[in-house]
Structures are given as C-alpha cells and as structure tokens.
Structure 1
Amino acid sequence: MQTLRQVLVQNYTRTTAGNGHIRVKRREREEDGGDGLPPGPIRLASPYDTDTRWSAKRDMFWNGFKLHVSEKCHAQEEGDRPESPNIITNVTTTASTLPDTKALEPVHQAVDRRQLLPRRHYLDSGYPSAELIVDSAKTYGVALVTPVLLDTSRQAKAKNGFAAHDFTIDWAGEKAVCPAGKTSAAWNPNVQNGVPKTVISFAALDCIPCPFKEQCTSARSNRRQISLQPHELTEAIRHARAQQQTDEWNQDYALRAGVEGTIRQVTHTAGLRRARYRGLTKTHLDHTTSATALNLIRLHAWWNGHPLDHASHSHLARPQIALAA
C-alpha cells in the first residue's frame, strides 16, 4: 500500500476548488507550467518493481536497469587463431539513471577483487572524466583508453580562434600566456558548483588593442578569461585530447570495436534486453548467469576451432554472395 501511495503522490496532485470539490490532476514538469516531478533517480516507475527507473539514450526509452559488460581483449591478425578466447570478465548492473561515469568505479572494484584488472581499459566516450583518468591510474594502475569530450568553448567548436588549450599555463608561477604573448593579470582559485576551478583573467588594456581579439573573445568586459580544473586534471585531459588526434591512438582504440559483438551476443543470444526477474539483485544474478553461459559458448567454440563472428546477411543478399563465390 505504501508503494502504491508513493506512485500516486508522485504522479498526481490533489487540490480543493473554491466550491469545496476535490480536483485530481496529473503532475507536469515545472517548465511546462506544472507542479513538478520528483527527480528521476528517486521516482518510482512501477509499483510492481520499485528498483526500475525510466531512462533514455538518444531515441531509446526504457524502464529498467543498465548493464555494463567487460571482457578480455587482445590484438589479432585477421584469420589467425587467438591464443585464448575473449572471456567476459565482469557484468555490473546499475540503476538506469546512474551515469556511466559513476559506474566505472564499481566495475574496477569488482574486477580488482577477482585480480582481473587490465593494464589498459578500453571504454566508450560515455565513461571517462579527468578525475577518472587520474584516479584509475593512481588507485588501480589502469590506463583508460577512451575518447574524451572535446573542448566545448565557442572557439574550439568553431575551430577558429584561441581555445583554452592554446594558452601556455605556468602552474608554479600562477600565470598564463596567451598565443599573442600577453601574460595574465589575475589568477583566482574558486569553487564552481562544488568543483574546484581556477579562473585566469587577462587585462582589458592588453585585449582591447590586440589584433587577435576577434578570434579570442567577444566578452563585454573586453578581456579574455579561461576556467581550468586543478593542475593534474587539466594536464590529464589535455594529454588525452592530444593523443586521440593521432593515428597511433586511433589504431590502438580500434581494439574496442570487438565489444560491440559481445553486446550483440548478450542482447540477441542471451536476451538481456528484457529483464526476466524483478528487482536489481535478481536481475544482476540473471546477467551473471547469462555471461557465464556465453563464456561456455565461447570456450567451446575456441576449443573446437569454430569462429563465432559469422556475418549475417539478408535473404536478398545471400544469392548475390553465393553467385560471387
């Protein structure tokens, strides 16, 4: 009864009209003129399973959980038999509203308990942050190989002008030098939304006559400001952004593409797009047993020399492929 009451309260409001009649209406978002909805992480999505939450990713909407899959991977020449099969080493089940960046630490803790930590962890772009890049190396000795979000400043997005990475930062001297050779006038450590930052400001007397001003800033104050994370985090994210622009990094990161086949195997062979049980704990058990079954399939295929990566073709394409052969 308490669960049903919570579902009703978070979805409907009750008001008393001037004539004494009670009116019940559905809650709407505040930006739509409504009374507001509870935050997604605490809003019950179903009275039948109080652990599930509504979530969205691009054009996909679902009520349930998130599954994070880790597997062993290694470089392999086409046609060569691998030295060992790619085994799923961990599955982590989380609330669907938990950001991927918050799921990485539980993944590392789980594989560390089983002594399966990789030296290099290949991830998609939803997982990394400057803090995780630094902390993973310090705490677990794991290097994250992953695309990081690029600079979102106006200058960086337009690729026309001076972005923050174009400035030379002297952390010890607490100053910065702009691409035009001018030195900053102020160095102000502060906290923005609970996050430590350093705001570096240049003098208006230097910026106003600068021939590159239009490429650098359009601020009404007529001076450039840049906001940086702490030293170690700034250097880590700068290094990661520089690395991912190189051909060597992209060739190395191509190794991660193999996990897409694993995700397809998990969803199509094991049917894990749909939860078979209610509750986070039972759903995680289902994910674990399904991963174990997939590992047995992979071991059997590897022992018998049967590759698993058969390409699927449409009925229309198969006769054409047969004729070409």
Structure 2
Amino acid sequence: MLDSLHADPSAAPLLSLPAVQTLELVWSQQFSRKTGEVQWKPGTAVPPSAQRPESPYDTEARFSTKRGRGWVGYKVHLTEACEPDLPEVITHAHISSSCTQDIQVMPSVHHALAAKEMLPRQHLVDSGYVSGSVLADSLEQHGVEVIGPTRPGANWQLRDPEAFKIDDFSIHWESQHATCPQGQRSTSWLLGQSPEGIPLVFVSFPRKVCQSCEVRARCTKSTSDGRCLTLLRQPAFEALQMMRKQQETPEWKAMYNRRSGIEGTVSVAVRAHGARTARYRGEAKLRLQGMATAAGINLGRVYAWWQGRPRAATRTACFARLPATV
C-alpha cells in the first residue's frame, strides 16, 4: 500500500494523513527490504525506545524499565507540600515520557510552580532528581534549594577505601588546574560535555609522573595514561560536593525525613485512584488525568484537615472508622 501511494502522484494528500504517517514510521523502524524480500530488522538496527512508538493508537507512549519492571506509557511526577500546620496537598502533577530521566523534568517542574507562584523554599526530592546541575541551576534561577541524596559514582575509587577520590584532589578553578594528593599538578584542562549535553571539565595528569608514582595503584588502573578526572563545571561541582557532605549529618537526615509522606501519596494515587493506568491517549490528555487525580486527593485531605482528622501513619479501613455503637 505504501509503495502504491508513493508511486501515484495524485495520492500525495493521503501520505499526509496521520494514520498513514504512523504506518510508514513503524514500517521503516521495524522492517527492511533486501532483494525485494521484506525482513524484520535485527535488534541492533531498531531505534532506541525513546524514538520508537510502541502502539499505533498512542504514538507518544514509549517502553521503559525500572527496577526490573517494564511498561509502555509515561511517568507521573508529583510535588507535595509538607508544611507541619497545613494540609499536605499536591501542588503539581507533571507528565513526562517514560524514557525521560527524572533529573530532566526538574526545570519544567520549577517553571510550572513559579508560574503558579507556588515555588518552595526547599524542595525535598528522591536521588533520581539530584545532580550537580539541578542543585546549582534551581538555586540560581528560582531560589529553590533542592535537597536529596546524591547518587554514588561509578568509579572504582569510590568502592575502594584506600583509593584516592576526587575529594582528595585540590581543584583550582581560576588557574584551571588540579593538584593530586602527592602534590603533582595537572597538565591538561579541557572543557567539553557529556553525551547528554552536560557541561564537563576533563583534567589529566602527566603520564610519566603517574607511572613513577609510588602510590599509583591507589589512583589509577591505567597502564599507559596518567590519572584523569571528569568534573562538573564549578557551580554544579561545588553544589554536589556540598550535598554529599551534608547528607551524612544527623540534622540533614532529620530534615529529609519530611519527604517520607510523598511515598504515601504515590501509593494512594496508584492504589486508590489508578494512577498507573492511562485512561487517555497522548501526553496532553494524560496531564489532565494527573491533575484530576491530584485534585481528588487534595479535596479529601483538605476536608479531613477542616474536620481536624490527622493523617494516619497507616490506612484505616472504612468499617474501622465508623463510630462505635451499642
């Protein structure tokens, strides 16, 4: 059918139909033609999930996995107030693609909260929303202090208690060099970015000096090069290092405990309101579902607050809530 449409000049209007465009997109991503024979494309030739529609009925839905669980659809991100003397209402519901990383939605969430004049002074978040760029940009652009546990790095030095970590190096931002624990100065300072577009600084130490160092085994496993450091830009780097130090203190842990309420909110949204089932197609309509779900939860909480009923630590069954009668 697609071949016939492309071969007939008078069929050009049909090629612009959304259904035909979806068919052509799915066909080109899943199949190939060799010597006139149609074949499935191998897995290595199929586009990644973020670029591949999973359903012709909802071309924005994507496949993703988290903690071993896969699904086709979207993600919902809930922001909740946690003032001790006020009801804990949901202030924003954000819908994103299932393939979008959590740290990527933070700017959109803060812009939306700013538009509603509901920006918090402190925003307690899960570790998936924490990065050096998020910490620095949120404070600079919106005056919001993002608070959350940082993710452990993937370097082997972080798993070895005897190894030299980034904290053991002195970073001199103005003169653009670093000094290792043995007092050696770096010889290369290059600006670049990660594949995701995050600005980075690449610092290298001289190969000959590192090869003759007595504590080389504590610094690098490379047999040919010297130690290399990959750093975030200064504001993001310093914000991330400060958060890593703060999160080890009892005061920080006591403050972060206030975030535990959002887990209950997510549970209520999922179990009582079916938040994991998309009732509509497309991200725009799913945003409507998220707002309706949040509004329903808020109405119940505000009414309970007016009635003076405190939030229970665990759910109480409807029958158990009935007053005792004789």
Please say whether Structure 1 and Structure 2 have the same fold, judged by a TM-score greater than 0.5.
yes
The aligned runs of 1:171-190 (5 Å cut-off) are 171-180=173-182, 182-190=183-191
User: Where does the alignment leave 5 or more consecutive residues of structure 1 unmatched?
Assistant: 17-21, 31-35, 75-81, 315-325
Q: Does 1:295 align with 2:298?
A: yes
Q: Residues 266 and 203 (structure 1 numbering): CA distance in 2 closer, same or farther, change over 3 Å?
A: same
Deviations 1:204-249 (A, max 9, x none): 5543443322212222236323232222222121111111222221
Provide the C-alpha distance between the structure 2 equivalents of 1:289 and 1:191, rounded to a whole number of angstroms.
43
Match of 1:9 in 2: 28
Q: Is the 8 A contact 2:77 2:95 kept in 1?
A: yes
Q: Residue in 2 aligned with 1:56?
A: 65
Contact 2:127 2:149 in 1 (8 A): yes
* 2:192 and 2:202 in contact (8 A); partners too: no
Task: Give secondary structure in 2 for the equivalent of 1:151.
Answer: coil
Shift of 1:300: 1.2
CA–CA separation in structure 2 for the residues paired with 1:303 and 1:63: 39
For 1:264 and 1:287, locate their aligned partners in 2 and report how far apart those are by CA, in whole Å.
Answer: 14
In structure 1, what is the equivalent of residue 252 of structure 2?
249
The one-letter code matched in structure 1 to 2:184 is T
Equivalence for 1:280: 283
Quick check: 1:85–1:298 contact (8 Å CA) kept in 2?
yes
SS in 2 for 1:47: coil
List per-residue Cα deviations over 1:241-278 (Å, max 9, x = no partner): 11122222122111111100000111111111101112
Q: Helix, strand or coil: the match of 1:126?
A: helix
Q: Which residue of 2 aligns with 1:216?
A: 219
Whole-angstrom distance in 1 between the partners of 2:258 and 2:148 = 11
In proportion to residue count, which structure has more helix?
2
C-alpha distance in structure 1 between counterparts of 2:94 and 2:248, whole Å: 31
Q: Tell whether 2:136 aligns with 1:119.
A: no
TM-score w.r.t. the length of structure 2 is: 0.84
Instruction: Pick closer, same or farther for the CA change 1:91–1:196 going to 2, 3 Å.
Output: closer
What SS does structure 1 have at the residue aligned with 2:281? coil
The answer as to whether partners of 1:148 and 1:241 remain within 8 angstroms in 2 is: yes
State the shift of 1:185 in Å.
4.1
Aligned CA distance change for structure 1 residues 293 and 175 (closer, same or farther; 3 Å): same
Contact residue 54 and residue 96 of structure 1 kept, 8 A: yes
The answer as to whether partners of 2:188 and 2:205 remain within 8 angstroms in 1 is no
Instruction: State the secondary structure of the residue aligned to 2:130.
Output: coil
Cα contact 1:189–1:196 (8 A) shared by 2: no
Q: 1:158 to 1:313 in 2, by over 3 A?
A: farther
How much has 1:29 moved relative to structure 2? 1.5
How far apart in 1 are the matches of 2:206 and 2:71?
Answer: 51
What amino acid sits opposite 1:23 in the alignment? Answer: E
Please give the secondary structure, in 1, of the residue aligned with 2:128. Answer: coil
Q: Deviations over 1:118-140 (max 9, x none)?
A: 00001101112211111100110
In the other structure, the counterpart of 1:319 is none
Alignment of structure 1 residues 159-178 onto 2, 5 Å? 159-178=161-180
> How big is the shift at 1:5?
3.2
| TM-score of the two chains, using structure 1 as the length reference | 0.84
Aligned residues: 297
Counterpart position of 1:151: 153
Partner residue in 1 for 2:7: none
The whole-number CA distance in structure 2 between the counterparts of 1:255 and 1:133 is 19
Conserved 8 A contact 1:40-1:53: yes
Q: d(CA) in 1 for partners of 2:26 and 2:212?
A: 62
CA contact (8 A) 2:177 2:189 kept: no
Query: Distance in 1 between the 2:304 and 2:208 partners?
Result: 71
Aligned counterparts of 1:118 and 1:25: Cα–Cα separation in 2: 54
Q: Is the deviation greater in 86-95 or in 209-218?
A: 209-218
Q: 1:45/1:157 Cα in 2 relative to 1: closer, same or farther (>3 Å)?
A: same
Q: 1:295 to 1:151 in 2, by over 3 A?
A: same
Instruction: Give, in whole Å, the separation in 2 of the partners of 1:92 and 1:302.
Output: 25
| Residue 234 of structure 2, aligned match among 231, 235, 241 | 231
AA aligned to 2:263 is: E
Counterparts of 1:149 and 1:138, CA distance in 2: 22
**Taking structure 1 as reference, are residues 270 and 245 closer, same or farther at Cα in structure 2, changes over 3 Å only?**
same
Contact 1:187 / 1:198 at 8 angstroms: preserved in 2? no
- Using a 3 Å threshold, how does the CA distance of structure 1 residues 112 and 192 change in structure 2: closer, same or farther? closer
Shift of 1:192: 4.5
The residue that corresponds to 1:128 in the other structure is 130
CA contact (8 A) 1:184 1:200 kept: no
Gaps of 5+ in 2: 1-18, 318-326
